[in-house]
A = this chain, B = another copy of it.
Amino acid sequence: MSFSFEVLHNSKGTRARLGKMHTPHGIVETPVFVPVGTQATVKSLTPEELCELGVQMVLANTYHLYLRPGHDVISELGGLHRFMHWDRALLTDSGGYQVFSLSKLSKISNEGVTFQSHLDGSTHLLTPEKAMEIQGALGSDIMMSLDECTPYPATHKESQESLKRSIDWARRSKESGNPGNGALFGIVQGGMFQDLRARGVEAITNMGFDGYALGGLSVGEPREMMLDIVASTLPLVPKAAPRYIMGVGTPEDLIQLVSLGADMFDCVIPTRNARNGRLFVRSGTLNICNARYRTDQAPVEAGCPCYTCTHYSRAYLRHLFMAKELLAYRLNTIHNIYFFVMLMKEMRNAIRQGRFAQFKKGFYSQNTG
């Protein structure tokens, strides 16, 4: 296993930290935002474009790739990196979240989850061991233990039972043996209850993973509740390991969570919003469908050096989007990913230079939502 993490710098006045993950496919600087490439592609973009945008790591979904084209197919073709022509780091989730959110569930037991494929209705059993086998076959750089994503709302009792299962599955994930060259992260559940989160951290960190994730956040709870859980839970996680908040978030969320000590994030927000015509700018977002952009010569954001802003007007992007042209999704995605990547880079620079607290304050005063 060739994974390591080092903290290079701690922010003063916040818990933000600058770090570096060494993975089998290169260095990843943290805090990092990981774009989602569900089906072995970040929708509409090539790997070369992702590299040019400064993307260091991409997330691929175990659930989707297991069902189509099959992890066995990808393994036979030399692994996911080669399959999708991506030579930087790959993170894979465990499949658990998608099983609960996308498929028709047949049965959850301590053994695992029996589910029906959202593609063809076929029945499958996902166990912690199977999740590891799939991720190993894909050749992931960072694998995740199988967890049960506790829904929101859930009672204390429900959350406790769910946590118990996730802890058990984490143990089995670890015990099944790391099949590849990558790291294995444990996932802490516990719903919206601080005592359960604390218990989750204790159990998971005692097992000793390469990194720790908080799962089950941004599942419908109020934003303040999410931030409270992170604020109270992250300090319990060993400082020496990377801390990953799964499925989050908006630019405001990312800044807030970095200030609480988080190192990694993945989210469909920049890519999905791009395909819906919602583009990120410093002051919030703009909806490219808006008739006000019909003859607007300006780029999405003045001064933005991304490919889209360098060469195209809002008027052209609006035209492409209204005409449902494929290039619309691509140009929008380029801008939004660039926005997120740059935001993380600015945060890293600010931490390095000891001015993260100011950066955060400045960003919020600029941002009007």
Contact = CB atoms under 8 A, between A and B. Distances in A.
B69 A325 contact: no
A329 B41 CA distance: 13
Given A73-B294, A313-B77, A313-B83, A68 B322 contact: yes
A361 interface: no
Contacts of A46: 307, 327, 330
Nearest to A45: B327
Contacts of A76: 295
Interface in A302-334: 307, 311-313, 315-316, 318-320, 322-323, 325-327, 329-330
A44 interface: yes
Contacts of A307: 46
A120 to B, nearest CB: 12
Given A313-B77, A330-B326, A40 B319 contact: yes
Contacts of A45: 327
A132 to B, nearest CB: 23
Contact of A326 (B44, B83, B311, B318): B44
A297 interface: yes
A85 interface: yes
B43 A312 contact: no
Interface in A259-313: 294-295, 297, 307, 311-313
Nearest to A46: B327
Interface string A70-104: 00010011100001110000000000000000000
Contacts of A294: 69, 73
Given A73-B295, A76-B295, A295-B77, A319 B85 contact: no
A39 interface: yes
A85 B312 contact: yes
16 contacts: A39-B325, A40-B316, A40-B319, A41-B326, A44-B326, A45-B327, A46-B327, A68-B319, A69-B315, A73-B295, A77-B295, A77-B313, A78-B297, A84-B316, A85-B312, A330-B330
Given A39-B325, A326-B326, 16 more contacts: A39-B319, A40-B319, A41-B320, A41-B327, A43-B325, A44-B330, A46-B307, A46-B330, A64-B323, A68-B322, A73-B294, A73-B319, A78-B297, A83-B315, A85-B316, A330-B330
